[in-house]
Structure formats: structure tokens, C-alpha cells
Amino acid sequence: MTSKVEKMALPVGVTLDRFIKKNQGSFQFASGELSQLLRDIALAGKIINREVNKAGLVDITGALGTSNVQGENQQKLDVIADIRFIRALKNGGEVCAIITEEEDEIIYTGNDDAKYVVAIDPLDGSSNIDVNVSIGTIFSIYTRVTPRGTRATKEDFLQGGRKQVAAGYILYGSSTILVYTTGHGVNGFTYENSLGEFFLSHPNIKSPEDGKIYSVNEGNFDDFYDYTQRYIMSCRKKRMSGRYIGSLIADFHRNMLKGGIYLYPPTPSHPQGKLRLLYECYPMAFLAEQAGAKAIDCESDILDVTPISFHQRNSIYVGAPKMIQELELFFKERAKYIIKEARFEKIED
Ligand code: AHM
Ligand code: MG
């Protein structure tokens, strides 16, 4: 039996910093720049964590009264997180340009020599801020395709999900956790407030093969296509647990650890789906694949969807591989349904 003193003297664990350093060698042509960039993101995450934690104390909650580029109400913390992230990435020096869910144009950092571009959703699920529900930051990193020393262009960002070199999220929940992948598995680091450090707490995250949780905004049920409705009804029939926080990262994180599926299908108000391809769908899909889960829309793997614009939206179904397989059977039905419809139209002609 370990004595109380021995327990207290146990090592505190692997810090994010040490983990990044140790694993730097597994990056192709590692030069330390990606490692430094991940550290910069972690630093911004610590700062936002501080802001989020005092959200109820100072006058920073609630709507700002302005809208972002997509006409949605911006929360004050949305704006603060946006500013904090951009500043951290500018000061870090490893990023030449940034796009964020909150702004329309490319943000140039002034570091044209830098190798990477980053797409971020600085505070996702922000309608949950005022009510103490989990929110998070999502990031996605690409190696630029334009030559170093020149100005980055939209081609640097519109490379497609498979070109991501790293992606991750920081979830500000019952504790703050940073989860990321560089294409060599997924690891999670919990923030230890008193030491001001992220420690490896969830090494090599793997999604269960199957699960019992489905996460969808069921208030939209009547708006979903027939085949999606039938899938949801099958989940109900199996007495699966419905769990929907309304913060993608929180729903995703829980499902990844416990086994589940998250769905955001198209609706009349969001005919392409609501979530943004570059800021939300691609990074979650990269993480999901690396954790042995799957992310699709009705047509293909999310990572194969062609990007056209920065703020393009997409439907997404992401979760345990067996659950996605089952959903795909319902999508196949959809194909039949469409073929039937087409035939029917033909006969009528
Ligand atoms: P946001 O980027 O404006 O915060 O919106 C994205 C969020 C996701 O985190 C969440 O899963 C989804 O929107 C919830 O949408 P809805 O309220 O329509 O269910
Ligand atoms: Mg978002």
C-alpha cells in the first residue's frame, strides 16, 4: 500500500510542453515550429480559461449587441476570445495568417515567413456562456501552400480536411481540457489551475466501437428528412440515451469517451447544415478519425468535402464507427427513395 506521504510525492504527470517536445520527432521534417504553435494555442487557451471562469463576476457575459459576419449575435466572450487568440498567434510567430468564425477576411499576423495558417472558432457554443454550460475553442492547422515570405491567400485555407496537419479543441467544462491530434492519435491534457499547466490526462483517446448515446437537437425533428427521422426513431426504439448540450465540443467529447453519435442534419433554416466546414466539421472529423470514430455527411466522409468558402456550412454525423455504419443504412434508403421519385417523375412525363 502506498502511504499518504508517498502518494503526495508521486510525480505530477507529463506536462503538455514535455509531451510536445517528446513527440516532436514524429512530425515529418520536424523543425519545432508546429510544436511552438501548439504551445501558443495552449497559452491562448489558458487566458480564455481565465476569462471564462470569471464570466459571472465581471461584466463580460451577455450579448454585445453586434453581429458577426454571419449575422449572428456576438457574445462579449466571443469577441474577447477572438482577440486573445489572434494576439497569441501573432505574438507566437509561427502563423502567417488566421481565419476565424467571427471575422470575414483573412487576418494577417505580419509574419509572412511563417509556415502555418490556422482556422479557429474561438468560442464555440457561445449561447451557453450566460448559463454556465460548457463551451470551447476549436482549431485547425495547415501548412501553407503559398511560398514563405509572401502573403498568404485563400488557397492556403481552402486545401481540404485531409490536408490538416493538426487539429484540436479546448473544452471549458467541469475542468478545462485540451485535446489535439497531429495525425498520430489523439491525446487530452487537463488544466491544473494552481500550477498553470496542462497535464496529460487522456492518453491515446479511442472511441468505443459502438455506443448508446445520440445527440441531436430533437426540437428540429419535424424539419429533418424522412430517413434521418427514421434513424432517430430507431435510436428511441432501442431506448438509447438522448444527450444534447448544444455545445459541439462538449457533445463530441462525451461521445468520444463514452460512445455516441452527434448529428446536425440539414434543416429548412440551414439547408446545408448549420456547422461550419472549416472551423467545426473538418477539425472534429480529423480528431474523430484519429480516435477510430467516423464523421460523414449524407454523401461522403467530412474530410473529403470540397471547401469553397471560409464560412461554408455542412451537415455532420460523427461518432462511434458502428453507429455511423447503421446510420449509413438509412442513407442508402434515401438513395432508393430518390431513385423511386425520379422514376415516378419519368412515368408521369
Ligand atoms: P456557434 O458556433 O454559433 O456557437 O454554433 C455552433 C453550435 C454548436 O456548438 C452546437 O452543437 C450547435 O451550434 C447547436 O445548435 P442548435 O442550437 O441549433 O442546436
Ligand atoms: Mg462555432
For residue 99, pLDDT beyond 50: yes
Residue 140: how many other CB atoms lie within 10 Å: 29
Q: Is 266 in the pocket of ligand 1 (CB under 6 A)?
A: no
113 lines ligand 1 (CB under 6 A): no
Q: How far is the CA of 271 from the centre of ligand 1 (A)?
A: 15
Asked whether the beta carbons of 54 and 99 are under 8 A apart, the reply is no
Range 13-202 classified under CATH 3.90.1660.10: no
What are the strands of the beta sheet with 164-172, ordered from one edge? Answer: 107-108, 95-100, 116-124, 135-143, 164-172, 176-181, 186-192, 197-202
What residues does each domain of the chain span?
13-202, 213-348
Q: How far apart are CA 272 and CA 277, in angstroms?
A: 10
Largest pairwise CA distance in the chain: 85
Q: Which atom of ligand 1 is nearest the CA belonging to 121?
A: 2
C-alpha grid cell, residue 278: 472549416
pLDDT (0 to 100) of residue 188: 96
Confidence class for position 332, pLDDT limits 50, 70, 90: confident
CB-proximal residues (5 Å) to ion ligand 2: 121, 124
> CA angle at residue 308 from 231 to 253, to 5 degrees?
45
Per-residue DSSP letter, 128 = G
Which of 3-17, 20-34, 218-232, 306-320 bottoms out in mean pLDDT, i.e. has the lowest?
A: 20-34
CATH class of domain segment(s) 213-348? alpha beta
What percent of the chain has pLDDT above 70?
85
The atom number, within ligand 1, closest to the CA of 124 reads: 4
Q: What is the pLDDT of residue 347?
A: 34
Tens of pLDDT, residues 254-308: 999 999 999 999 998 899 999 999 999 999 999 999 999 999 998 999 999 999 9
Chain segment 222-244, per-residue pLDDT in tens:
999 999 999 999 999 999 999 99
- Asked if residue 287 lies in contact with residue 140, where contact means CB atoms within 8 angstroms, the answer is no
CA–centroid distance, residue 118 to ligand 2 (Å): 15
**Quick one: pLDDT at residue 29?**
54
| Residue partners of 48: CB distance under 8 A and separation at least 6 | 80, 81, 84, 85, 122, 123, 137, 170, 172
Is the pLDDT reported for residue 26 higher than 80? no
Residue 124 Cβ < 6 Å to ligand 1: yes
Q: CA 75 → CA 125, 128, 233, distances in Å?
A: 10, 10, 35
> Closest residue (by CA) to atom 6 of ligand 1?
125
How would residue 346 be classed by pLDDT, with cut points 50, 70 and 90? very low
DSSP letter, residue 146: S
**How far, rounded to the nearest angstrom, does the alpha carbon of residue 1 sit from its chain's CA centroid?**
42
Find out whether the beta carbon of 246 lies less than 6 Å from any atom of ligand 1.
Answer: yes
> Looking at the CA of 134, which ligand is closest?
1
Closest C-alpha residue for ligand 1 atom 4: 125
Is residue 70 exposed (0-12), middle (13-18) or buried (19+ Cβ within 10 Å)?
exposed
How far does residue 97's CA lie from ligand 2's centre (Å)? 19
Q: How confident is the model at residue 102 (pLDDT cuts 50, 70, 90)?
A: confident
Section 81-85 average pLDDT? 91
Is ligand 1 within 6 A of the CB of residue 215? no
Enter the pTM of the model. 0.90
Tell whether the model's pLDDT for residue 55 goes beyond 70.
no
Q: Is the CB of 75 under 6 A from ligand 1?
A: no
Residue located via cell numbers 489551475: 193
* Mean pLDDT, rounded, for 157-171: 97
Q: Cβ distance 136 to 124 under 8 Å?
A: yes
The mean pLDDT value for 179-196 works out to 94
